[in-house]
Amino acid sequence: MSTQAHPRERVLRAFEREYGRPAEALVRAPGRVNLIGEHTDYNDGFVLPMALDRAAWIALAPRDDDVVRLLADDLDQRGTFRVESAARRDARGDAHAERGGWLEYPRAVAWALQADGGHALRGFDGVLSSDVPRGAGLSSSAAVELAVAAAFREASGFAWDPIDVARRMQRAENHWVGVASGIMDQLIGAAGVAGHALLIDCRDLTTRSVPLPTGTVVVVLDTSTRRGLVGSAYNERRAQCETAAAALGVAALRDADMAALEAIRATLDDVAFRRARHVISENARVLQAVDAAEAGDAAAFGRLMDASHASLQGDFEVSSEALDQAVAAARAAPGCLGARMTGAGFGGCAVALVEADASAAFVAAAAAGYERASGRAGSFLVATAAAGAGTERDLTVR
């Protein structure tokens, strides 16, 4: 089958080939791009992501037992496991359930949904496909986790509480998969609102939908570089933020302001001071960006994106040559209102706010500028803000 087919069509067709009958349900869960608010989540701060119209899809049919049979269509790999064995974190009797394989993600979801008196789960037959780029900082793994959770909801009939599901998917990522992610990716994927970004308070997990400025589009610029091994750098920055918070006498940098930071500047080493300055100023920028979006002030929103990149580049030091090149190419292109790196950094994607009428000219000019500067071709996506994970009721193959 052509790899150009939309994953929605791929899973529906592949399900019928694989199982000899049509699918009974179809679920999707989106990737995400963070518009502003980087490295604020683990400091109890604010983030402003939006769900993407790129998603992981699962076509499925519920089973009467606890067996999950799943075809990963993109990988042409099959796996089978029992829900009960996942609850016990026991791979005995599961097919292709070796630690570290792709099936670990669905098994982790089954474990997390059942944990601590959670949900009673039934199995399902399913086919999975995704068009969220892997390793680009667009939350491809969270999209898969949430799609599997939505498939279990269809098969098992439990109520969908976005915050509870997001917390459980974060637990799956942290304690089964072994990635120390925050909750932003899972929560925007579970609770995204079509046509809007989502302001998330990472302390109490309250959310608020925020309209994008009228007459603008969001463009994601994939640098075609990947982060590689940045766990030590990430952990180092978390420790530096904790050091600064302790010096400020606050539980997290969310609780500090710039005046308080300046007052203790002499007691902090320069690196810890700059890390804290980024987080404190970035939290302020997120809230200012919400005000700008709600006022329809696209220019102010764009300026805040530019300031965010400068802070991530200089104070937090998580940008890269490729990300800086992509941001510079975007800013030089027609219709660009602002651009910044997005995600943890060191590679992956940048994001730009662009005048809608200029989007085609912007993409052409930014792509050419990035290739001239970097010697590599990037990938550009004019993104639509999508809804969070859900069920598609139309099972027609188009």
Q: What are the residue numbers of the active site?
A: 185
Q: Compute the CA torsion angle 31, 193, 168, 146 (nearest 10 deg).
A: -40
What six digits make up the tokens of 385?
């803000």
Q: Three-state DSSP class for 27?
A: strand
How many of the other CB atoms lie within 10 Å of CB of 2? 6
Residue with tokens 């609770």: 191
C-alpha distances out from residue 271 to 239, 241, 276, 390, Å: 11, 10, 9, 43
Distance CA 277, CA 316 (A): 9
Distance CA 59, CA 391 (A): 10
* DSSP H or E stretch at residue 126: strand 124-130
Q: Which ranges in 202-269 belong to alpha helices (H)?
A: 231-248, 258-263
What six digits make up the tokens of 227?
């982060």
Q: Three-state DSSP class for 161?
A: coil
Strand 216-222 versus strand 207-211 pairing type: unpaired
Q: Compute the CA torsion angle 121, 123, 125, 129 (nearest 10 deg).
A: 40
Distance CA 397, CA 375 (A): 40
Distance CA 232, CA 179 (A): 12
Distance CA 229, CA 227 (A): 7
Query: Minimal CA–CA distance to 207: which of 225, 186, 224?
Result: 186
Burial class of residue 306 in the structure, from the number of CB atoms within 10 Å of its CB (0-12 exposed, 13-18 middle, 19+ buried): middle
Q: How many residues does the chain have?
A: 398
